[in-house]
Structure 1
Amino acid sequence: MRLEWLGGDSTNGQSPTLYRSDRGTYVVQGWRTDQPGKIEIPHRLLQFVTRGSCFGVKLDDTGHGTFMLVGEPVTDPEALGIIDAPGHEAAVEVAVGEERRPDAPHGLR
């Protein structure tokens, strides 16, 4: 899987990062949780989502500046080589959704 770097939130040695894959999905690198495929990311990471799109999964707000999300764990060796996540982080693949604004005129997004 090939990845295009979209942006990251590197602070205090932490490195949540967002990529776009050649499969038309987002690959999200975040902090590991106790559940495989579930990661925690900072709210600020969403600024790197491609305009007009969104994550195609539910984000659960933790109430302290982060979201929890669930995706397919990344196992592709090429992608993992690019990501090079430290041991306390993991990467998941999620669908790309289409942003739909409730205040947009009919037929527009």
Structure 2
Amino acid sequence: MKDEKYISTISMISEHLDQFIGKKVEITGFVFRERDFPANQFVVARFGVTCCIADANVYGMLVKGENAAKLKDNTWIKVTGTIHQTTYRQSIIPVIEQPAIETIEVPDQPYVYEEY
């Protein structure tokens, strides 16, 4: 997933999930967890900016895996795996299950920007 198309790609996968199930994906970001996540899941996330950094929101994809609990929040990673679907808070969302995870350095540009 390219940084330039990060937000639009995440949106497209979420909106047309049935067309992406079974497809391979590679995504980079930081480990982000909601309070209600079990130990085996996190979001590989980026802060997306629409106008300015003050309006930044988290964009990313849910990841489930055996080694997820070992990763600390805010660690930068590259995740490679296959897209599946799951339910979270009564919504069907994409998830990468049992992925390959590699720790990486923080990129020069950690934010991604919405295209117009």
Normalising by structure 2, what TM-score? Answer: 0.28
Normalising by structure 1, what TM-score? Answer: 0.29
**Could you say which structure has the higher helix fraction?**
2
User: Which has the greater radius of gyration?
Assistant: 1
